[in-house]
Amino acid sequence: MEQNERIRCLIIGSGPAGYTAAIYASRANLSPVLYEGMQPGGQLTTTSEVENFPGYPEGISGMDMMEDLKKQAARFGADIRRGIATAADFSTHPYRITIEGEKVVEADTVIISTGASAKYLGLPDEAKYAGLGVSACATCDGFFYRKKIVAVVGGGDTACEEAEYLSHLASKVYLIVRKNYLRASNIMQKRVFDNPNIEILFETQTEGLFGENGVEGAHLVKGKGTDHEERYDLPIDGFFLAIGHKPNTDIFKGSIELDENGYIVTRPYTTETNVPGVFAAGDVADPRYRQAITAAASGCKAAIDAERYLVNNNL
Ligand code: NDP
């Protein structure tokens, strides 16, 4: 019978957290194996330009930055593989991770850096204008909309925060809210209501986007299904989704502690999960900051935590 492969440090996911963990783990001689997952390079590969990652004074494309991180991890010997983890069994050590529903690898330590995915409305136009006016990250892309008109979709804390952030750059921000109230915390609501640069469009839904070479406007409907239903076009240059994120933790449900929104719970100041030897880094454990630099930092911490676990357990 074929023996399962035994890995000292298995990293799942290839965003800034995964690659940074791979850089540190390979330099610490942990012989890490990294499976790239569903979206090699992670969410940043869908961002046009990264201008807030320290060390790139001229900015860098998300794609190039992830390629550089991958090369840096490979340079120190990280074994980077294509493949998606489809099941995880943490009930006995070494832990057993299934790749593509077939191959099973055994791991002494696991670093979960599977990230989170921004939710989209599901309109075909969101894909059509991806990188051409549609974004799910105001902090990443807001700078490109200086003195322009933008819309943010959503009524939660993220939407209010993004609208507020964009209001200091754009000439006008519309907040498109499907209900007739905001779900955000009182303090965020007050900030948005008091901001003269933000106009809230309540009871409004987006049916599509239009524009020649990029977004030039949105097709909106107000009071859909009511007797005051009204369709109109709103001229905008940027369309920002802020309707929530979903951490990519489906395969870990039931085997590791998750919070009520599905994010992995880590012990304060560490990347330790409730399973010894399993660590979480990046957006999969971070509903709050969600930045490339914070993900990279936690990837570094996870590799250091994994090394200490191996040493302490003579593995
Ligand atoms: P939320 O789930 O809180 O809010 C999502 C918003 O998007 C809601 O207004 C929702 O509308 C709307 N929405 C969802 N789907 C659609 C859709 N298909 N079409 C139109 N609108 C839609 O997500 P957030 O990302 O805002 O927040 C997640 C968590 O993180 C919350 O607990 C929040 O408090 C927290 N957070 C805290 C921050 C802070 O403390 N500084 C900053 C950011 C987030 P509806 O209300 O109708 O369902």
Q: Where residue 51 falls among pLDDT bands split at 50, 70, 90?
A: confident
DSSP letter string, 203-218? TEEEEEEE-SSS--EE
Q: Where residue 142 falls among pLDDT bands split at 50, 70, 90?
A: very high
Active site residue 250: no
Report domain extents, the chain: 5-117+245-312, 120-241
Cα distance between residue 217 and residue 208, in whole Å: 9
Give the nearest ligand 1 atom to 243 CA. Answer: 7
Q: Which two tokens stand for residue 115?
A: 């990230």
Task: Tell me what the pLDDT averaged over the chain comes to.
Answer: 95
Q: Where residue 47 falls among pLDDT bands split at 50, 70, 90?
A: low
**What is the reported pLDDT for 49?**
75
- Which residue has its alpha carbon closest to ligand 1 atom 15? 243
Return all residues near 3 (Cβ < 8 A) that are at least 6 apart.
none
Q: What is the 289 CA–ligand 1 centroid distance (Å)? A: 15
- Write out pLDDT tens, residues 92-136: 999 999 999 999 999 999 999 999 998 999 999 999 999 899 999
Pick the catalytic residue from 108, 141, 237, 305.
Answer: 141
- Whether residue 1 is predicted with pLDDT greater than 60 in this model: the reply is no
Cα distance between residue 177 and residue 81, in whole Å: 42
pTM of the model: 0.79
Among residues 5, 14, 21, the alpha carbon closest in space to that of 279 is found at 21
Q: Are the CB atoms for 227 and 215 separated by under 8 Å? A: no
Residue keyed to tokens 């191959």: 103
**What is the reported pLDDT for 4?**
83
Q: Are the CB atoms for 96 and 105 separated by under 8 Å? A: yes
- Which residue has its alpha carbon closest to ligand 1 atom 21? 154
CB neighbours (10 Å) of residue 227?
5
Q: What is the 252 CA–ligand 1 centroid distance (Å)? A: 23
Q: What is the 248 CA–ligand 1 centroid distance (Å)? A: 17
Q: What is the 183 CA–ligand 1 centroid distance (Å)? A: 7
Homologous superfamily of the 5-117+245-312 domain (CATH): FAD/NAD(P)-binding domain (3.50.50.60)
In words, the CATH class of domain 120-241 is: alpha beta
Residues with Cβ within 6 A of ligand 1?
121, 153-159, 161, 178-179, 183, 243-244, 287
